[in-house]
C-alpha cells in the first residue's frame, strides 16, 4: 500500500517539487527528512533510491553499530566499482552516537555513501553539525484530511478494497495526519474484512488491535511516570520506570533528554549542579554506550531525584515570555542604549547608565526593563537549597541599596 514513485507521494507538494528538481539532474543528494511520525519519511527514502537506481541500505542507529557500517562501506565500494550507487538510510538519525558519526562522516564526504536520515527531532539541535552541513534538510508536514482520503483511495484501488464512506471518515479521524497509522489500520481492517466491504465497525476493531499492541510497548505514560517520579523526589520510582523503558527497547537518549529537562525545570537553581550532572552523564553515555553507560544514567537519576526542588526559574521564564508577548514593541530605555556616535549621544543614548562595578558590591538598582514594565520581578527564589542563598543575597543587596539612597 506504500507509494513507489514521486508521483504517488501524497501531499508534501513543495518538498516533492524540490526533490524532483534535484533528482532530475541525476544527483543523489544527502538528505535529512524532518517531520512528525507517519508523514512518509521512510517511504520517501525508498522512492529516492528507486528514482535514482541506487541500492537502498537501511541502518538502525539503536540496534546496529560500527561493525555493521564497515560491512555497508565494503559493499558500497564493490557496488561503486560496478557503477552503482548506495543510499544509506538512517531512521531516527538523531540517535547516532559519536562513534557511529565519526566513522560515517568520511564516506559521506567522499560520496561513497549518499546519506538519507529521518528524524522527528529538530535537526539543528539533534544532528551532528558536520553531517548536517553536508545535507539538504527537507521538512515534511502532517497530512490533511483530503490527503488522507487520497491515501485511502489509492490503497483501496491498488488492493481492490471496498471502503464504505463512513469507514473512510473513521480512518481519517483516527489517523490525525499520520498516513502510516492510517495504512496500518486499513491493512488490519482489510484482513478482518476478508473480501467484504470495510465498515466503520471493522475499522474500530482494527483500531482496538493497534491500541493493544501499543499498550504493550513503551509509551508516553512511562515517560510521564519517570518525570513525575523525579519531580516527587522518588529515586526508586524514577529508576524503576527508567529500567522498564530501557528493557522495552526505549533508547537511553530519550531518558537523558527528559532527565536534563527535569533537572532544569524541577530542580533549577535550588541545586545548579543538577543540570550539569545530568548533562555530563549523557556525555558519558555517548562515550561508553551499553552496558557501562547505564551507571552514569543511574547516578544522574538519583542525583536529580534527591536534589532540592524549585520551579521558580521555570516560572520566571514563563513570566518573562508572557511580558514579552504582551509588550513586544516596548522601546529600549535610553540609558541602556549604546551611544556609538555623537548624534546618538545628542539623542540621550547612554545618559544615566550606571556601571555596576563602580558601586559597592558591584550592584546598582538601575531599572533594566522598559518603562511599561518598570519594577516587575519575574524571579522570586524559593527557600529550598541554594535558592536560600540567592534569596539572602538579593535581600542584602536591596537593603544596602536602600541605605545608600
The string of pLDDT tens digits covering residues 122-134 is 787 778 788 888 8
CA end-to-end span of the chain, whole Å?
Answer: 77
**Average pLDDT of the segment spanning 175-198:** 87
SS3 91: strand
Residue entry with cell 490527503: 147
Cα distances from 85 to residues 48, 58, 130, in angstroms, run 12, 14, 22
pLDDT above 60 (res 212): no
Count of C-beta atoms within a 10 Å radius of residue 158: 12
Please list, in sequence order, all residues whose beta carbon lies within 8 angstroms of the beta carbon of residue 363, skipping any fewer than 6 positions away: 356, 397, 400, 401
- The domains found in the chain, sorted by start residue, are 6-139 (3.40.50.300), 145-215 (1.10.8.60), 220-306 (1.20.272.10), 325-404 (1.10.3710)
pLDDT of residue 195: 85
Query: Looking at 133-195, which runs of residues are DSSP E strands?
Result: 136-139
Q: Do residues 68 and 54 touch, judged by C-beta distance below 8 A?
A: no
Q: What is the pLDDT of residue 26?
A: 73
DSSP codes, 222-272 = HHHHHHHHHHTT-HHHHHHHHHHHHHTT--HHHHHHHHHHHIIIIIGGGST
Q: Is the pTM of this model over 0.75?
A: no
Scanning the structure block, which residue is given the C-alpha cell 536560600?
388
What is the Cβ-side half-sphere exposure of residue 351, based on CA atoms within 13 angstroms? 8
**Hey, what's the torsion of the CAs at 253, 257, 258, 264, to 10 degrees?**
150
Q: What is the mean pLDDT of residues 26-37?
A: 85
pLDDT at 5: 84
- Which of 58-62, 182-186, 346-350 is predicted with the least confidence, judged by mean pLDDT? 58-62
| pLDDT for the residue 202 | 92
Grid cell in block for residue 378: 519575574
Q: Cell numbers 481519517 correspond to what residue? A: 172
Mean per-residue pLDDT for 43-53? 90
Residue 56: name the closest of 33, 90, 95 by CA: 90
Residue 214 has pLDDT above 50, yes or no: no
CB under 8 Å to 102, separation ≥6 — which residues?
none
CB-based contacts of 161, cutoff 8 Å, min separation 6: 155, 186, 190, 193, 198
Provide mean pLDDT across the span 238-243.
94
Q: What separation in angstroms does the CA of 74 have from each of 59, 69, 81, 110, 350? A: 15, 9, 11, 14, 65
What's the pLDDT at 2?
67
Radius of gyration of the chain (CA): 28
Give residue 215's pLDDT band: very low, low, confident or very high (50, 70, 90): very low
C-alpha angle 225-226-230 in degrees, rounded to nearest 5: 110
**Segment among 226-230, 231-235, 354-358 with least mean pLDDT:** 354-358
* SS3 state at 10: coil
Mean pLDDT lowest among 9-18, 19-28, 128-137, 203-212: 203-212
Residue whose C-alpha cell is 529515586 = 235
Using DSSP, state whether 72 is helix, strand or coil.
helix
pLDDT confidence bin for 211, thresholds 50/70/90: low
Mean pLDDT taken over the chain: 88
Predicted local distance difference test score (pLDDT) of residue 216: 40
**Is residue 113 classed exposed, middle or buried when 0-12, 13-18 and 19+ CB atoms within 10 A define those classes?**
buried
Q: What is the pLDDT of residue 1?
A: 55
pLDDT at 354 over 60: yes
Q: Of 8-17, 109-118, 214-223, where does the model show the most confidence?
A: 109-118
CA triple 279-252-236, angle to 5 deg: 85
* Tens-place pLDDT, residues 244-298: 888 776 778 889 999 999 999 999 999 999 999 999 999 998 888 878 889 999 9
| Each residue's pLDDT tens digit, 80-90 | 999 999 999 99
* Least reliable range by pLDDT among 27-41, 190-204, 209-223, 314-328: 209-223
pLDDT at 139 over 80: yes
Taking the C-alpha atoms of residue 16 and residue 348, their distance in angstroms, rounded to an integer, is: 54
Vertex 55, ends 98 and 73: CA angle to 5°?
40
Is the pLDDT assigned to residue 339 strictly greater than 90?
no
Of 15, 30, 14, 27, the residue nearest 89 (C-alpha): 30
Amino acid at each position: 500500500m506504500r507509494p513507489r514513485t514521486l508521483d504517488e507521494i501524497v501531499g508534501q507538494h513543495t518538498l516533492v517539487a524540490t526533490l524532483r528538481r534535484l533528482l532530475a539532474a541525476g544527483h543523489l543528494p544527502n538528505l535529512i527528512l524532518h517531520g512528525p511520525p507517519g508523514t512518509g519519511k521512510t517511504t520517501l527514502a525508498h522512492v529516492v533510491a528507486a528514482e535514482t537506481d541506487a541500492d537502498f541500505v537501511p541502518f538502525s542507529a539503536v540496534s546496529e553499530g560500527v561493525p555493521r557500517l564497515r560491512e555497508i562501506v565494503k559493499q558500497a565500494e564493490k557496488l561503486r566499482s560496478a557503477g552503482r550507487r548506495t543510499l544509506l538510510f538512517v531512521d531516527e538519525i538523531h540517535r547516532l552516537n559519536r562513534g557511529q558519526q565519526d566513522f560515517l562522516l568520511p564516506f559521506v564526504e567522499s560520496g561513497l555513501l549518499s546519506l538519507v536520515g529521518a528524524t522527528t527531532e529538530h535537526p539543528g539541535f539533534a544532528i551532528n553539525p558536520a553531517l548536517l552541513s553536508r545535507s539538504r534538510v527537507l521538512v515534511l508536514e502532517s497530512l490533511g484530511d483530503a490527503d488522507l482520503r487520497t491515501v485511502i483511495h489509492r490503497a483501496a484501488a491498488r488492493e481492490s478494497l471496498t471502503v464504505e464512506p463512513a469507514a473512510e471518515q473513521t480512518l481519517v479521524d483516527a489517523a490525525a495526519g499520520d498516513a502510516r497509522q492510517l495504512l496500518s489500520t486499513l491493512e488490519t481492517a482489510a484482513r478482518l474484512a476478508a473480501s467484504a466491504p470495510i465498515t466503520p465497525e471493522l475499522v474500530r476493531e482494527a483500531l482496538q488491535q493497534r491500541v493493544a499492541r501499543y499498550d504493550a510497548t513503551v509509551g508516553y505514560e512511562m515517560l510521564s511516570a519517570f518525570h513525575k517520579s523525579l519531580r516527587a523526589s522518588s529515586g526508586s520510582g524514577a529508576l524503576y520506570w527508567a529500567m522498564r523503558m530501557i528493557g522495552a527497547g526505549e533508547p537511553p537518549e530519550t531518558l537523558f533528554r527528559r532527565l536534563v529537562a527535569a533537572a532544569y525545570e524541577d530542580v533549577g537553581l535550588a541545586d545548579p549542579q543538577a543540570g550539569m550532572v545530568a548533562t555530563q552523564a549523557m556525555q558519558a553515555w555517548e562515550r561508553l554506550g551499553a552496558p557501562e553507560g547505564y551507571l552514569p544514567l543511574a547516578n544522574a537519576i538519583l542525583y536529580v531525584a534527591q536534589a532540592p526542588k524549585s520551579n521558580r526559574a521555570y516560572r520566571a521564564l514563563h513570566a518573562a515570555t508572557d511580558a514579552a508577548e504582551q509588550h513586544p514593541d516596548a522601546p529600549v530605555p535610553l540609558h541602556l542604549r549604546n551611544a556609538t556616535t555623537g548624534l546618538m549621544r545628542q539623542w540621550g543614548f547612554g545618559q544615566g547608565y550606571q556601571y555596576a562595578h563602580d558601586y559597592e558590591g558591584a550592584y546598582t538598582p538601575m531599572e533594566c526593563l522598559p518603562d511599561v514594565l518598570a519594577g516587575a520581578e519575574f524571579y522570586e527564589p524559593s527557600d529550598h537549597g541554594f535558592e536560600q542563598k540567592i534569596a539572602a543575597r538579593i535581600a542584602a543587596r536591596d537593603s544596602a541599596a536602600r541605605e545608600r539612597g
